[in-house]
Amino acid sequence: MPTKDIVVIGASAGGVEALQRLCAGLPADFPAAIFIAQHLSPSARSLLPQLIGRAGPLPAISPMDGDIIEAGRIYIAAPDLHMLLRPGNILMRRGPQENRTRPAVNALFRSAAIAYGGRVIGVVLTGLLDDGTEGLIAIKAAGGLSMVQDPADAQWPSMPQNALKRDHVDHCVALDGLAALLGTLVREEAGASVPLPKDYLVEDRMAARDFAIMEPNVVTPGQPSHISCPDCGGVLNEIELEGELRFRCQVGHAFTPLGLAAAQNEELERALSIAARTHRDRIRLFVQMRESAHARGLPHAEGRWAEASRESEQMIQVLERAMSSLRKSQTDGEA
């Protein structure tokens, strides 16, 4: 009988240190393959495989598309690529972002649940917002196990905390205890695998695209909402699976509710910043016109330009207060 030999791990803020500590505690004879999705800058070269490989006894690599899965290895998603699992091998694809991230934890977890069902153990570590929660739900629905780092032990508790709120997690453990628990669980017999609903398979296929483009033979799951996609402006579909709501557009960009709210905050802040900058440019114009009116002895025109400057200064103050409020609401949502 197969064992629980597929371990998928997701992390974001604070994840590099947490992953090093976790992998340092794994035994050299670890009989499972480990796959890690850590949120990374899309343009930077990642040193994470070297850091993880030096931290513990298991070799760590960033896989190539089509690589064969081997037990006792750690596979780490490269920047700006989703890492997806298929029976026996790995896909590295530049599919549409999920919660504005690539690699995305949910994309990795979902693919593992589809390909390996009851053989999968999903682990969510420190990080912001809720990437990984939907993936853990898919793993549980497919017959696998779910684990999170104890939020009280996490540098950034939001990711494990949001997973716990969904009331589906099998183990909540401090980081120093995770390696030992994994060492025990991966030697246990796998549970029965449960086929997932078709919508999961469609979303996995969308993540496996090489480019974020629409395909005529792929219908986005869910029903159209009245909300537009922050990434491309298209209509977002509402998808409800296992009692959880998320959003995906026709191009494939995907969002959890928290991720969508964060993306909308970013768009609003960008728009407000542009408006504030435009008002500052207007003030420079108004000052120049006021000085010109003064030099020509036109007091009424001078007063009109001075009043326009004051109005723009007041608008800048209003915009800056709005931006401060947005930043606070974003911080509260990540806590």
Considering only CA atoms, which of 12, 68, 9 is closest in space to residue 334?
12
Point out which residues pair with 146 in neighbouring strands.
122
d(CA 138, CA 132): 10
Q: Catalytic site residue 82?
A: no
Point out which residues pair with 255 in neighbouring strands.
247
Options 12, 62, 111, 309, the catalytic residue: 12
Q: Catalytic site residue 294?
A: no
Q: Strands of the chain (E only): list them.
A: 6-11, 33-38, 60-61, 74-76, 82-86, 89-93, 120-124, 145-149, 171-173, 223-228, 235-241, 244-249, 254-255
Is the previous residue joined to 31 through a cis bond, with omega within 30 degrees of 0?
Answer: no
Options 5, 130, 131, 153, the catalytic residue: 131
Q: Catalytic site residue 39?
A: yes
Q: Are 59 and 90 in contact (CB under 8 A)?
A: no
Options 5, 39, 130, 153, the catalytic residue: 39
Structure tokens that stand for 243 in this block: 């009692």
98: alpha, beta or left, given left = phi > 0 and alpha = psi -120 to 50?
beta
Considering only CA atoms, which of 314, 329, 317, 321 is closest in space to residue 266?
329
At which residue do the structure tokens 């949001």 appear? 162
Considering only CA atoms, which of 313, 329, 325, 323 is closest in space to residue 270?
323
* Catalytic residue set: 12, 39, 131
